Structure 1
């Protein structure tokens, strides 16, 4: 498929690209997102080819590969034109095309991108009995983050799928311009303010996040998910009473469970901030997400008070998550050296729900309704791995009409039993809080581990 679009050249990485690049260096993986979905009957290969050409021509991030300077510094290299293949996979007559599509999705995700030579888009269709049945696509995080993927999907409304014609100009600040903007005095002031907050926190938080795990496993990193209709209902009651979004409530509950599990208060979590509220970024198909620290004291207070503290911490973090990650890495090294200990900041919280993050609408559920929903909770264990990750990483998944969340832990920090207790405990805390505004967090002030 031939494509051509506005903007080309070699520029500095954007701060969002640097953040994704740093994460890739730590994990050794491209950290891609995408999926496999069924297509409406009658969809043609030509329509999907038009879609591929459309997104490649409109969005610089999808025409970007990495260029390494002589000293090894990566830069973004945006091409103005090129060619990309749409893979067509024929499923055998006796094969399930959905299974073929899922296997293809897994291969796309598990195979690292060649970021120097490969376009950051993998796209395919599955053909079964001569008709197109499924669509598969994958994009690395250095090209687009979760909100960038949502912006990409929204921009498809500007494509005439039959002809490939563009129905509106592309919106949002593109990566080449982002890099240039990040050299302006206004951006440097934002960067400096963000790093001042980081430095204050790095110098005052306890260096350790976890106690030694009583059950270290091999493979080392474990993952489990929990689906909780009861939490979804309970959030409506807590949100109505506390007058906050459901995000801070979930964050507060996670902070409480971490403090109970690790014996470490305040809870210190890196939250991922979209940065989409900044001018020109809402519709940008690019990588803009960066992390900021939330330090939440959940001791000697009610859960409602913990929610208020989480909301305040989350709001402040959101205003201080736009900075050059290289300077943060330098700052962390300097503070570690001056404190004489490595300060652990590798505990993450990521709310992926975006546009579906509202509480359930309608009347606040009754206590009987909540109790009836509790047995519907389902725990799912994922495959363990030795691919390095954070000590603890909680994802709130984008699943409608329920709360679905995934916890990935280093079993040298948190045991599998503690992991399950955290997953079930998050549900329990929020359900108990739904009808008890005086509910205590159950966390007492304690000396920080050293």
Structure 2
């Protein structure tokens, strides 16, 4: 796809320098190393609607300001002469910005094609971690499109970054003061924290928690590998469901738990049913943005913590109730130096005589404001609404992967209006049909809980 015009924008910002990776970046680098050189899936995408009345020069200036204010966007990643991955932040430089004029294609489809185009190749060491583009209609800006290397940002940071861009754009358009830069937290500050006694203490506490939880994990979590692998071996199936949104919020409200607990407990219950194992050990992805300082960090902070869920044939609602306090505790132990953890896990596996299976993971993203929902009124209404929404559910195949270290990876993005989830699983253990059936069982199981609360 060829850009209509190309602009070169100059940027400058504070905080240049060369640094080691943060814990979260080291944690993520493992996935990059496993999949290299096919790491284009590590490109995070954002599309921001441009309000009417804002001209192209203003949008370009907003992109310049966004890059200047966020060190993480001005950072490139490379491997040094000793084979160690590092990050280098540029204090100034130039960046290519492409503008695409629509060609008559429907706007959302054209924008998706632009996003695909700027994201189709992996980021390379000479590049800073962002590729911007602007979509215009009749010369008027309509959408800003960003592709950002996952090493520089995670899903939580990406959502915040999109909102920051909107604020910058509105300030420039109205000639108001720009949002302050000094309230932002940058990856270099995280590197500094992790070297302090407080940082090292946090890692040590997390490692101890890992040892405690992994002591409960079994040798196997996923089903036995009985199938011939499909191609790609790790299939990915997506579901978009309003019924899941209604049901998960209603169940969370009724049980007094988080939406995260609902989906994690549900996944454990269904996986235990499938495998026959009395419990399930998950790695739970965690955004780690606790406290004002880290809530203001846009760079990647996501890591995970282990969570063992005892199912033992109990009803789904009991499992969900059990999971809620476990997650509330576990979220404080998802920040650690991967090198420290690797040593501890090696010692643990030697003591137990086997390596616990940590190949099953859940990544649940539900906005805090959506945690319980406003469900005042007729208590039977959510059940009716969820049932009525079932026919509108969409299920479709994703790209999948040929290489992956997770045999079962469930990702859920839950919002009030709808929920989008995907399950990527090893086809030696789950056929494509099994994966789709699992997602549909998630939906139906939650609706059934609403219809029959005693189930």
Deviation at 1:397, TM superposition (A): 2.0
Deviation at 1:384, TM superposition (A): 4.2
Q: Is the 8 A contact 2:252 2:371 kept in 1?
A: no
Map of 2:433 onto structure 1: 417
Deviates more, 1:205-214 or 1:360-369: 360-369
Deviates more, 1:187-196 or 1:371-380: 371-380
Map of 2:129 onto structure 1: 120
> In the aligned structure 2, how far is the partner of 1:389 from the partner of 1:100?
34
Deviates more, 1:16-25 or 1:368-377: 368-377
Deviates more, 1:420-429 or 1:27-36: 27-36
SS in 2 for 1:319: helix
Unaligned ranges ≥5, structure 1: 440-450
> In the aligned structure 2, how far is the partner of 1:90 from the partner of 1:241?
49
Matched, 1:8 2:16: yes
Output one character per residue of 1:28-65: Cα deviation in whole Å (capped at 9) or x when no partner: 31512113455334443212211111111111111111
SS in 1 for 2:172: coil
After TM superposition, the structure 1 = structure 2 runs for residues 132-147 of structure 1, keeping only pairs within 5 Å, are: 132-147=141-156
After TM superposition, the structure 1 = structure 2 runs for residues 225-304 of structure 1, keeping only pairs within 5 Å, are: 225-304=238-317
Deviation at 1:359, TM superposition (A): 3.9
> In the aligned structure 1, how far is the partner of 2:142 from the partner of 2:292?
39
Matched, 1:351 2:367: no
**What TM-score, normalized to structure 2?**
0.88
Distance change in 2, residues 1:27/1:404 (3 Å)? same
Unaligned ranges ≥5, structure 2: 1-8
SS in 1 for 2:261: helix
How many residues get paired? 437
Matched, 1:51 2:62: yes
SS in 1 for 2:284: strand
Output one character per residue of 1:110-153: Cα deviation in whole Å (capped at 9) or x when no partner: 31111x21010011113344333332111122111111112223
> In the aligned structure 2, how far is the partner of 1:130 from the partner of 1:220?
44
After TM superposition, the structure 1 = structure 2 runs for residues 36-435 of structure 1, keeping only pairs within 5 Å, are: 36-92=47-103, 94-114=104-124, 116-156=125-165, 157-158=167-168, 160-162=171-173, 166-210=178-222, 211-214=224-227, 216-355=229-368, 357-362=370-375, 363=377, 364-366=379-381, 367-388=383-404, 390-435=406-451
> In the aligned structure 1, how far is the partner of 2:328 from the partner of 2:312?
20
Distance change in 2, residues 1:110/1:333 (3 Å)? farther
> In the aligned structure 2, how far is the partner of 1:48 from the partner of 1:437?
51
Map of 1:20 onto structure 2: 28
Map of 1:446 onto structure 2: none
Deviation at 1:316, TM superposition (A): 2.0
Deviation at 1:356, TM superposition (A): 5.6
Distance change in 2, residues 1:370/1:12 (3 Å)? closer
Deviation at 1:177, TM superposition (A): 1.4
Deviates more, 1:235-244 or 1:172-181: 235-244
SS in 2 for 1:280: helix
> In the aligned structure 1, how far is the partner of 2:385 from the partner of 2:278?
33
Output one character per residue of 1:321-367: Cα deviation in whole Å (capped at 9) or x when no partner: 01112222333344345544443212111112335633442333434
> In the aligned structure 1, how far is the partner of 2:308 from the partner of 2:265?
11
Aligned CA RMSD, in angstroms, stands at: 2.4
SS in 2 for 1:281: helix
Q: Is the 8 A contact 1:11 1:77 kept in 2?
A: yes
> In the aligned structure 2, how far is the partner of 1:131 from the partner of 1:235?
41
> In the aligned structure 1, how far is the partner of 2:34 from the partner of 2:350?
20
SS in 2 for 1:168: coil
Q: Is the 8 A contact 2:245 2:414 kept in 1?
A: no
Distance change in 2, residues 1:140/1:11 (3 Å)? same
Deviation at 1:179, TM superposition (A): 0.6
Deviation at 1:96, TM superposition (A): 4.5
Deviation at 1:371, TM superposition (A): 3.2
Distance change in 2, residues 1:164/1:34 (3 Å)? farther
SS in 2 for 1:86: strand
Deviates more, 1:164-173 or 1:392-401: 164-173
Distance change in 2, residues 1:9/1:369 (3 Å)? closer
> In the aligned structure 2, how far is the partner of 1:77 from the partner of 1:233?
45
> In the aligned structure 1, how far is the partner of 2:439 from the partner of 2:78?
42
